[in-house]
Amino acid sequence: MTATTSSEINDLTEQAEQEALILHSVDRFLARDVAPYVMKLEHDDIYPEDIVERMKELGLFGAVIPTEYGGLGLRPSTYARIVERISAVWMSVVGILNSHLIMAHIVHRKGTEAQRRAFLPRFASGETRGGLALTEPDCGTDIQAIRTTARRDGSDYVVNGTKTWMSNGIYGTCFALLVKTNPDAEPRRSGISMFLAEKGNGFSVSRKLEKLGYKGIDSAELIFDDYRVPASNLIGEVEGHGMQCALSGLELGRVNVAARGVGVAQAALDEAVRYSQIRKTFGKPIHEHQAIALKLADMVTRVTAARLLTHYAANALDRGERCDFEVGMAKLFATEAAVENALEAMRIHGGYGYSKEFIVERLYRDAPLLVIGEGTNEIQRLVIAQRLIERSQAGLTS
């Protein structure tokens, strides 16, 4: 018993040391390769190719992919810390990682061993990058209403339909694609499947989508016109499991978005604190005025609470537990904190906050995406309430 306990302690210590080194490498990468170039790349909406190459070298495209498939094998809680750090510098960089890693997470959790060995090493190296293709022009939150279909034809499926708001849509080459293999199925979810779709004949990008914020990352509309995908690319090689695949991936995605919220909220706080000590009115720094001091107090409280909720949710995911309740609360609170802190930072900056020369202008444009992405916050509230009642009826504490 003592030997086992000692071994477990050694493993945890080694893991902690490894993760500390990775976080240190991420901090250096952000200071050297990202921060100096953000303003130019973001304002001109330029895809950060050099930054992507550096992320490949660091192994970040394999962050949560197990080491046996060439990844770093990081726990979701460590990945959340990486996301928070990157988002505090430039949130768009995280978007390039997140959708890609959701796809990888789905393959690891729901794919066959053959699919893991065929795809995960390529995903981990960044050789093959992509994302999660759920949203359609007439379908967002209600993903069971998708219209993209896949019809079996010999050893292939023939796919027709459109996906929109696809992160990595232009520069990515492989997507976890949600389709209807049985459009008439009841319940609807039983007719939904997911494929690994690599770009080829019949799979094209129709256009890049312009956005208020979240610049740099390519968001695009994808067209499938009699696109043929091998039946072996059906995740799990069983039809009707697409919804389970999507929901499995979204747990990691929502931890990611919550961590993004923490990063943006922290960046807004940092900028507000810095400016409040420089800017003077009526003969003293503005942080000495009660109106500003109250704002700063609320901002730091929000970001601290958001961080704790996010770590709480990520730790549940580490343990492999069902965590839609914890993840929903973290995503809801942290993203609202990002929006509120970004607005307060702009107000503290006054007229300068409205200028493109200041970081808070970008934070103000980026933050609203978080309350929409990976399931709107209205949906998160419904999920939280439903799980709360389920837990109460089962005699569990919240």
- Active-site amino acid positions: 374
Counts of helices then strands in the chain (DSSP H, E): 11, 9
CA dist., res. 65 & res. 77, Å (int): 14
Q: Which residues contact 260 (CB under 8 A, 6 or more apart)?
A: 83, 84, 87, 91, 94, 334, 335, 338, 370
Look at residue 35 and give its three-state secondary structure: helix
324-353 core/surface letters (b: 16 or more CB in 10 A; e: else) = bbbbbbbbbbbbbbbbbbbbbbbebbeeeb
Q: Which residues contact 350 (CB under 8 A, 6 or more apart)?
A: 279
Cβ–Cβ < 8 Å for 29, 54: yes
Q: Which residues contact 25 (CB under 8 A, 6 or more apart)?
A: 58
Cβ–Cβ < 8 Å for 180, 198: no
Integer-rounded Cα Rg, in Å, for the chain is: 22
Amino acid at 293: A
